[in-house]
């Protein structure tokens, strides 16, 4: 398959981006400032992220569309209000996570934001449940820009009046340069911020404005350190088809009503796990020293029994210490439990830690 | 102290009698990005030419640091283990990685000069 590029590819190049292949796209991993500075400037001011590689999947249909989607998505879509968003999943028959996603109710149906590496398969999986009168479109004419950080609201409100009124996990249509754009208050960094769906033809103009307001470009490298400090999962690492939402410690994302009534893929299994607990569970991990426990690091109990593995690990610039997430046997999941991490053949001490590692409050 | 010599794996060596000091080059730190973890060898450890001797990790990944020269470690630089970020600021000065007593000076002589190394980096961009 040919490597794909987002509409901003040349723009990134001019900003001094270093590119890496990611999910079939050439994406910036960092710019001139480097990962740590990009991370810090997002937390202290604001940064923008080109996340146009993610799928913007639009669905339209009558009320039967809700029934169809609820077979594979465990959110309460019936009671999801227009312009409100939920974090949820596509589930397989075993309750495994095919992808994690954000679903927003629109006037005519739904918009689902899908992970770039999963989007083709996701659409295949969703389509199985769709009826003839349900229309769907993966819109590649749209870019998706995340604006994240404490100054985001002040900066975007000047350009697009009204966005300051959005509450966390809600969105609305706005006008910009004579075109419609859709803005949600959401993100993947633990900071206040927005995600802006904008046509490929207008996106450069938006970025010009952000840069003129000292908003720095942020690459995938800092996106990863920011989301990990915020305790957020990365699909393909912390989540996959063999892991279910209970093991992933994401049962909060399964709507209460749907836990009881079911009617979605893998419900039997998930119902059982909700009642009895799972064998392993996702936890936060803090190494005691400076050593970084990266993905696939083995986790041991203090008496040297293997109890789990790391799925994401890095140095957290705002925490100023290494941070990690992984799966351990449930009896070792209590916060403060001592563990050992095997790095390059040597065992280092660590502790099960609260998630997120870095906390800020969203605008509710 | 002799002139600095350079390896293809982006380490530098300076020599004072039979005592060598080894670090990573400025070019290496630019490729690595922000350095957040360093592990240096303990005194007494024997290292082979091009054998793994230390570890350096950036926000992106972990990399091995090789010794461009054989010998016995006499000191690892604890200061950079305590402050890994200092490797980004002064890689070819205060932020050396380890010192070792060398066995064979010809290993040092066969390394690249500054000019040769600069040319090597230009021809092998990564």
- Sequence ranges of the domains in chain A: 9-51+140-229, 279-364
List residues of chain B with CB under 8 Å from any CB of chain A: 33-34, 36-37, 39, 55, 57-62, 81, 84
pLDDT in tens, A176-235: 999 999 999 999 999 999 999 999 999 999 999 999 999 999 999 999 999 999 999 999
Are A142 and A36 spatial neighbours (Cβ–Cβ below 8 Å)?
no
What is the length of chain A?
364
Q: Does domain B5-105 have CATH number 2.40.50.100?
A: yes
- Minimal Cα–Cα distance from A291 to chain B, Å? 6
Instruction: Kindly state the helix (H) or strand (E) to which residue A321 belongs, with its residue range.
Output: strand A321-329
Nearest CB partner across the interface for A30, out of B33, B37, B84: B33
Residue of A nearest to B29 (CA): A34
Are A353 and A299 spatial neighbours (Cβ–Cβ below 8 Å)?
no
Q: Which CATH number fits domain A279-364: 1.10.287.110, 1.10.10.10, 2.40.30.110, 3.40.228.10?
A: 2.40.30.110
Per-residue pLDDT, B23:
97
In this prediction, residues A254-270 reach a mean pLDDT of: 95
Sign for the CA dihedral angle at A219, A183, A359, A351 comes to negative
- Minimal Cα–Cα distance from A48 to chain B, Å? 19
Q: Beta strands A216-217 and A47-50: pairing type?
A: parallel
Per-residue pLDDT, A361:
58
Contacts A317 to B, Cβ<8 Å: 34, 59
- Minimal Cα–Cα distance from A200 to chain B, Å? 30
Transcribe A154-192 into DSSP letters: HHHHHHSTTGGGPPTTBEEEEEETTEEEEEES--SSSSS
Contacts A314 to B, Cβ<8 Å: 59
Per-residue pLDDT, B1:
64
CA–CA distance, A326 with A332 (Å, rounded to integer):
12
pLDDT in tens, A87-103: 999 999 999 999 999 99
- Domain limits, chain B: 5-105
User: Which of A26, A33, A29 has its CA nearest to residue A18?
Assistant: A29
Per-residue pLDDT, A222:
97
Average pLDDT of chain A to the nearest whole number:
96
Residues 27 through 56 of chain A touching chain B, CB cutoff 8 Å: 29-30, 34-37
- Minimal Cα–Cα distance from B39 to chain A, Å? 9
CA distances to A47, A107, A239, A343 from A242, in Å: 34, 35, 8, 25
Are A326 and A297 spatial neighbours (Cβ–Cβ below 8 Å)?
yes
Per-residue pLDDT, A363:
63
CA–CA distance, B111 with A255 (Å, rounded to integer):
64
Transcribe A245-272 into DSSP letters: TTTTT-GGGS-HHHHHH--STTHHHHHH
Nearest CB partner across the interface for B60, out of A221, A290, A291: A221
Are A208 and A15 spatial neighbours (Cβ–Cβ below 8 Å)?
no
Residue A1 confidence (pLDDT) above 70: no
Per-residue pLDDT, A364:
58
CA–CA distance, A78 with A255 (Å, rounded to integer):
11
- Minimal Cα–Cα distance from B33 to chain A, Å? 6
Tokens of A135: 């229309």
Residue of A nearest to B82 (CA): A290
Nearest CB partner across the interface for A34, out of B33, B37, B84: B33
Per-residue pLDDT, B3:
84
Transcribe B72-120 into DSSP letters: EEEEE-HHHHH-TTHHHH-TTTTT--EEEEES-HHHHHTSBPHHHHHHH
Q: Which CATH number fits domain A9-51+140-229: 3.90.1150.10, 3.30.30.60, 3.30.1360.120, 3.40.470.10?
A: 3.30.1360.120
Per-residue pLDDT, A314:
96
Q: Is B37 in contact with A30 (Cβ distance < 8 A)?
A: no
Residue A252 confidence (pLDDT) above 90: yes
- Residue in this structure with the two tokens 């209000």, named with its chain if needed: A81
Nearest CB partner across the interface for A34, out of B34, B81, B84: B34
């Amino acid at each position: 398959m040919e490597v794909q590029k987002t509409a901003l590819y040349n723009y990134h190049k001019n900003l001094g981006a270093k590119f890496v292949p990611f999910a079939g796209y050439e994406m910036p991993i960092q710019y001139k400032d480097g990962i740590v500075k990009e991370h810090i400037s997002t937390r202290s001011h604001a940064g923008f992220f080109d996340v146009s590689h993610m799928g913007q999947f639009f669905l339209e249909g009558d009320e039967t569309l809700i029934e169809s989607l609820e077979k594979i998505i465990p959110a309460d879509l019936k009671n999801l209000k227009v312009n409100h968003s939920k974090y949820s999943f596509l589930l397989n028959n075993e309750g495994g996570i095919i992808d994690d996603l954000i679903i927003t109710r629109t006037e005519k149906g739904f918009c689902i934001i899908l992970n770039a590496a999963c989007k083709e398969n996701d659409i295949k999986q969703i389509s199985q449940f769709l009826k003839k009168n349900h229309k769907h479109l993966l819109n590649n004419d749209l870019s998706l820009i995340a604006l994240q950080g404490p100054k985001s609201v002040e900066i975007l409100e000047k350009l697009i009046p009204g966005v300051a009124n959005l509450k966390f996990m809600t969105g609305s249509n706005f006008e910009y340069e004579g075109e419609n754009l859709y803005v949600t208050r959401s993100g993947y960094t633990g900071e206040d911020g927005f995600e802006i769906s904008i046509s490929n033809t207008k996106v450069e103009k938006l970025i010009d404005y952000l840069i003129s307001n000292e908003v720095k470009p942020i690459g995938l490298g800092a996106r990863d350190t920011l989301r990990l400090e915020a305790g957020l999962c990365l699909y393909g690492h912390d989540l996959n088809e063999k892991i279910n939402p209970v093991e992933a410690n994401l049962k909060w994302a399964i709507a209460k009503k749907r836990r009881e009534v079911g009617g979605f893929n893998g419900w039997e299994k998930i119902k059982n796990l909700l009642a009895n607990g799972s064998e392993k569970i996702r936890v936060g991990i803090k190494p005691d020293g400076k050593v970084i426990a990266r993905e696939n690091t083995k986790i041991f109990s203090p008496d040297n029994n293997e109890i789990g593995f790391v799925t994401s690990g890095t140095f957290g610039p705002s925490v100023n210490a290494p941070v990690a997430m992984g799966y351990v046997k449930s009896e070792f999941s209590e916060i403060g439990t001592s563990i050992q991490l095997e790095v390059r053949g040597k065992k280092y001490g660590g502790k099960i830690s609260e998630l997120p590692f870095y906390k800020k409050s969203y605008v509710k | 102290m002799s002139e600095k010599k350079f390896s293809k794996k982006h380490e530098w060596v300076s020599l004072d009698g039979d005592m060598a000091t080894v670090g990573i080059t400025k070019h290496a730190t630019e490729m690595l990005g922000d350095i957040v973890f360093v592990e240096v060898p303990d005194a007494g450890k024997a290292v082979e030419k091009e054998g793994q001797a230390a570890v350096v990790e950036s926000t992106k990944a972990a990399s091995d640091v090789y010794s461009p020269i054989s010998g016995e470690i006499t000191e690892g630089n604890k200061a950079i283990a305590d402050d890994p970020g200092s490797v980004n600021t002064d890689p070819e000065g205060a932020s050396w990685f380890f010192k070792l007593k060398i066995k064979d000076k010809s290993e040092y002589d066969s390394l690249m000069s500054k000019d040769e190394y600069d040319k090597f980096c230009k021809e092998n961009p990564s």
